Amino acid sequence: MSLQSSDLPPVEATVVSPPSRPKTRPVARPASDRKAKCSMDEEVPPANSWALWRRGVDWPTVIWIGVAHIAALAAPFFFSWQAFVTFLVLYVATGSLGICMGYHRLLTHGAFQTYKPVRWLLALLGGLSGEGSALTWVANHRKHHKFSDKDGDPHSPRHGKWWSHMFWFMPNRGMKWQKELLARYAPDMAKDRGMVLLHKLFLPSHFALGAILFAIGYYGTALGMGGEHAVWYGCSMFFWGLALRMVYVMHVTWLINSATHIWGYRNYETTDDSKNLWWVALLAFGEGWHNNHHAYQRIASQGHKWWEVDVTYWFILAMEKVGLAWNVVRLRDMPKGTPPA
Query: What DSSP line would sit under 8-19, residue for residue?
Result: ----SPPP-PPP
Structure confidence at residue 10 as a pLDDT band (50, 70, 90): very low
Structure confidence at residue 35 as a pLDDT band (50, 70, 90): very low
Q: What is the DSSP string of 102-149?
A: IIIIIIIT--SB--HHHHHHHHHHHHTTTS--HHHHHHHHHHHHHTTT
DSSP 184: H
DSSP 98: I
Q: How far apart are CA 133 and CA 112, in angstroms?
A: 20
Q: How far apart are CA 225 and CA 51, in angstroms?
A: 52
Is residue 293 within 8 Å of residue 302, measured between CB atoms?
A: yes
Q: How far apart are CA 107 and CA 124, in angstroms?
A: 12
Q: How far apart are CA 219 and CA 151, in angstroms?
A: 53
Average pLDDT for residues 209-225, to the nearest whole number? 97
Question: Whole-prediction pTM value?
Answer: 0.87
Res. 309: pLDDT tops 70: yes
**Distance set, CA 275 to CA 255, 263, 272 (Å):** 12, 7, 9
Q: Name residues whose C-beta falls within 8 Å of residue 261's C-beta, 6 or more positions apart in sequence.
A: 149, 156, 157, 164, 272, 273, 274, 275, 290
User: Over the stretch 311-338, which tens digit does the pLDDT of each residue have?
Assistant: 999 999 999 999 999 999 999 998 888 8
User: Over the stretch 37-62, which tens digit does the pLDDT of each residue have?
Assistant: 555 555 568 889 998 999 999 999 99
Is residue 221 within 8 Å of residue 227, measured between CB atoms?
A: yes
Rg of the chain over Cα atoms, rounded to whole angstroms, equals 22
Res. 211: pLDDT tops 90: yes
Q: Name residues whose C-beta falls within 8 Å of residue 303's C-beta, 6 or more positions apart in sequence.
A: 281, 286, 289, 292, 309, 310, 313
Average pLDDT for residues 17-32, to the nearest whole number? 42
User: Over the stretch 102-141, which tens digit does the pLDDT of each residue have?
Assistant: 999 999 999 999 999 999 999 999 999 999 999 999 999 9
Please tell me the least confidently modeled range out of 88-102, 173-187, 294-308. Answer: 173-187
